[in-house]
Structure 1
């Protein structure tokens, strides 16, 4: 495990072989598995679960309620949201969960809305705005994201 000295990591739940790079913040309750790569300029809140061999590229903020299963790739500046009706100084009592299943990949600058599930091996195109669940093996692009094909095994 390597935690860069210019990061702020208070979680003790970080797996062997995981790297956390500079200017990253990982709060105390976060759980990060083995052999992950958490790139620079990331933020990970308390109720976040990252499984094994996950890559989180720079500029990604993982808010409470997010789970990334094994072998997930999250591209640069992907935006996860966790409040359907955000208002200043008004906080929702319920945090909708976001689940990204095994081997899914999310392209740069995609936006994932609250309460979304992304299926196994799904591929989210760069810049897509995901407003509905994405099935296993689906490739989605656009705003709102639409299925353009399926990945065959």
Structure 2
């Protein structure tokens, strides 16, 4: 099987499709995009969008970025937007209304939930689960098997948009393999959640979290070690 298209689909120049690709209605795919086989792209999806810059932005203007690459077995939900120069691994699921910005990589078999935003220059590993409406700030790095619950907020600007000193100090968060963050938690800029580190719901992380420990509260403090049965290495 080849390409199945809905109504009002716009496909730019030199877009490459694998086998058995299904496009919904009103899909826009920008020039040069590469899409693997057995991919489902639902209504109103935009792939390969070039970023635009606000006049007041402190970030440098970007020229034409390279195309987006979508792996095989990927599903992209209604009204999702995937920017240029992003790479989506095989069997990734991107839910409705998600946004994946430029220069982002998402590893194989990761789930990007409804309304999730992954900002520019971030990296998400394999087998992660990013749940509804969580926010991954720019310049963040998530390892493999990372879990981020609904409405988690990560941040990258300790100066909260004041003073020129901040310009070269933006730093996202790092969540290493097996890290887990509970609902409505907030992670401050540059903080590291080490392997199997776990943040309880509604906590505010103001310092790095050690390997295999559970933290809770505002500011978050160690509660106890992660139970052996919950450690990543002990999962089947």
TM above 0.5: yes
TM-score for the superposition, normalised by structure 1: 0.94
Deviation at 1:97, TM superposition (A): 3.4
Does the 8 A contact of 1:17 with 1:36 survive in 2? yes
**1:6-58: per-residue Cα shift (whole Å, max 9, x none)?**
11112541000100011111112110000000001111122110010011011
The answer as to whether partners of 2:137 and 2:172 remain within 8 angstroms in 1 is no
- Structure 1 residue 152: deviation in Å? 4.5
CA drift at 1:89: 9.4
- Greater helix content: 2
Q: Which residue of 2 aligns with 1:109?
A: 184
Which protein, 1 or 2, shows the higher relative CO under an 8 Å CA cutoff with sep ≥ 6?
Answer: 1
SS at match of 1:5: coil
User: Tell me, what secondary structure is at the counterpart of 1:92?
Assistant: helix
* Number of residues of Structure 1 aligned to a counterpart in Structure 2: 153
Structure 1: where are the runs of 5+ without partners?
Answer: none
Q: Which has the larger radius of gyration?
A: 2
Say whether residues 1:149 and 2:224 are aligned partners: yes
What value does the CA root-mean-square deviation take over the aligned residues?
Answer: 1.6
Distance 1:88 1:8, change over 3 A: farther
Dislocated runs of 4+, deviation >4 Å: 88-91
Kindly indicate whether residue 82 of structure 2 is the aligned counterpart of residue 9 of structure 1. Answer: yes
CA contact (8 A) 1:83 1:92 kept: no
CA distance in 1, matches of 2:140, 2:221: 22
Farther off after superposition, 68-77 or 38-47: 38-47
| TM, length-normalised to structure 2 | 0.62
Secondary structure, aligned partner of 1:148 = strand
